[in-house]
Structure 1
Amino acid sequence: MVCVWSEIDTPSIAEMTRNSPEPVTRDVMAILMKIYLFTYNLIQFLGFVWIFSKMTARLVLEGKESVYHTFKFCWTTMFICQILAVVEVINPALGLVNTAVFPAMVQVMGRNVILFVIFGSLAEMQNRVVVFFVFYLWSTIEIFRYPFYMLASIGLEWRLLTWLRYTVWTLLYPLGTVAEAVAVVQSLSLFDASGLYSIPLPAALGQSISFSLTLKLYLFVMFLGLFINMRHLISQRRRHFLRRELKVD
């Protein structure tokens, strides 16, 4: 396999340091920003590679029984990766990277609901097959996305990786959303039975409002979020490959 490397633009770093009073200060800030972005994406990449590798190895060695224990063996690393993912909302908000804040927030908050609220709060959900599919699809997406941004942070591009980063999501993102929706649907009866996160009401109005009602509304928001992210990613893909064609011409 031939690896083709090329320089790519990192305009956000340049924009951030352009107004600095001293050239040396600009250079130092640019280097520090590259180190920060490279390190963050490297940590996330290693975390999701570990999850993906662990799940794959257990599936090969133990067979289908391993899928029921996915949460037990992977939850710690997945929790850490997802907590760190909040940085992906902060970075564009501060202008450190050139990407829209809202699509990043939609993805991070959506995963937080599935991971912390549904899987983390309901022990009955943790041994279900849907956990395997959600974790596996998330990991597959990220083992292409994070190394792409890791290289981009230092101005490099591996064209095969770029093509994969801007292509695999067309299948994996919708599948991931479907898996998340299945997890939400499966949790509805559990929230109803347990009363977890229910909103108490005065006696005259009834006992409480079940949290499952919120999740039913969230199902609509989830697919709206998929539409927003798909549109954003399609725009990114077109812009990236159009820029490359213009450079080639």
Structure 2
Amino acid sequence: MLSLRLVYIFSYNLFQFCGHTWILANTIARFLTFGQDALADTFYSVGFVMSLCQLLSTLELFHIADGIEKARLFPRFIHVTEKNLVLILVITLEEIQSKLVVCVQFLLWNSLDLLRYQHELLRVMDKRSVAMLWTRYTLWIPLYILSVATEGFIIYQALPYLEPTTLNSNIHHPFLLLMYLPVLTLGACVSVWQLLKERKHHLEKWNNKMKRR
């Protein structure tokens, strides 16, 4: 009999996979149909679904802590936090919602999430293949590095649009975001290092499994 936990984690990953598939397909279809004119309202067409999927992704921290999902908590915390921060920044600043970099960021985010949630669905169903493992833990790394670089560029572009109001007499909102950029870089380096370790572990585990057959 299927356990309630298994049904829940399968349903969660399926929902996320379908959501990110819709976002990616919608973004590409609009660009192919309207060209650069589609960039102006890309956020308005997919922003709600993107925000919903990203809000639900915070549940993954509880999945890992509870043992439903086998993954490292700290790298996932970094991924969820950095995406939430950039998404909140885009939502609150209408001036950057129509920029090309936001469309690129959405394409990268959804490509990464499609790879990850597809892998998780196959893992839950015990249908993993070496091709899926290689794609998940090899292609994912350069895409993630590009995604972090784009996040940093969005933050940099947002600086001129932030109100010059102060949190106290010395610290401004742009200054806080500027200070966040090295933190983002450091977090990305830690995440890539963990991903490389996971890649080595999973591929070696798969090779040993094949040798025993």
Structure 1 residue 210, shift from structure 2 partner:
1.1
- RMSD of equivalent CA atoms: 1.4
SS of the residue corresponding to residue 209 of structure 2 reads helix
Query: Is the 1:52–1:139 Cα contact (8 Å) retained in structure 2?
Result: yes
Q: How does 1:44-123 map to 2 (within 5 A)?
A: 44-116=16-88, 118-123=89-94
Unaligned runs of 5+ in 2: none
Q: How does 1:49-198 map to 2 (within 5 A)?
A: 49-116=21-88, 118-191=89-162, 194-195=163-164, 198=166
Query: Is the 2:115–2:140 Cα contact (8 Å) retained in structure 1?
Result: no
User: 1 or 2, which has the higher strand percentage?
Assistant: 1
Aligned to 1:213: 175
Aligned to 1:233: 195
TM superposition score normalised by structure 2: 0.94
One-letter code aligned to 2:108: L
Which has more radius of gyration? 1
Structure 1 residue 151, shift from structure 2 partner:
1.7
Unaligned runs of 5+ in 1: 1-26, 202-207
Query: Is the 1:38–1:151 Cα contact (8 Å) retained in structure 2?
Result: no
One-letter code aligned to 2:144: Y
Measure, in 1, the Cα distance between the counterparts of 2:97 and 2:32: 21
After the TM superposition, which parts of structure 1 deviate over 3 Å for at least 4 consecutive aligned residues?
A: none
Measure, in 2, the Cα distance between the counterparts of 1:41 and 1:49: 12
SS of the residue corresponding to residue 48 of structure 1 reads helix
Structure 1 residue 160, shift from structure 2 partner:
2.5
Aligned to 1:35: 7
Query: Is the 2:64–2:71 Cα contact (8 Å) retained in structure 1?
Result: yes
Query: Is the 1:134–1:176 Cα contact (8 Å) retained in structure 2?
Result: yes
- Number of positions where the alignment pairs a residue of Structure 1 with one of Structure 2: 211
SS of the residue corresponding to residue 144 of structure 2 reads helix
Query: Which whole-Å deviations, capped at 9, do the CAs of 1:36-89 have from their partners, x for residues lacking one?
Result: 111111000011000100011011111122123211111000000000000111
Query: Is the 2:20–2:114 Cα contact (8 Å) retained in structure 1?
Result: yes
Measure, in 1, the Cα distance between the counterparts of 2:121 and 2:191: 21
User: 1 or 2, which has the higher helix percentage?
Assistant: 2
Is residue 171 of structure 2 the alignment partner of residue 199 of structure 1? no
Measure, in 2, the Cα distance between the counterparts of 1:158 and 1:77: 30
One-letter code aligned to 2:193: R
One-letter code aligned to 1:134: Q
Aligned to 2:185: 223
Measure, in 2, the Cα distance between the counterparts of 1:104 and 1:239: 17
Measure, in 1, the Cα distance between the counterparts of 2:130 and 2:11: 21
SS of the residue corresponding to residue 157 of structure 1 reads coil
Aligned to 1:244: 206
Structure 1 residue 163, shift from structure 2 partner:
2.0
Q: What percentage of residue pairs aligned between the two structures are identical?
A: 29
